[in-house]
Amino acid sequence: MWRITKRGEREFRHGQEAYGLAADQARFCEGFCPDVEDEWTADEERSCYNCRLRRWTVESFLCLGPA
């Protein structure tokens, strides 16, 4: 699910439109913190795409939550 960047950051391998996979990852994440609703990109509330601890990249996002 994740790749480690040269800077040691966790980047989601599946891009910005793998809604089911992002929701599955968030379901088991102890660090999940929902972002403000205006920033949501997925319909399902509990999704990495809607987490306050994600930072978008050109192709995907970085997870800043606990590993």
32-60: pLDDT as tens digits: 999 999 999 999 999 999 999 999 999 99
Number of separate domains in the chain? 1
Asked if residues 11 and 61 have their Cβ atoms less than 8 Å apart, the reply is yes
Distance CA 62, CA 44 (A): 19
Domain that holds residue 56: 2-63
Please write the tens of the pLDDT for every residue from 17-36: 999 999 999 999 999 999 99
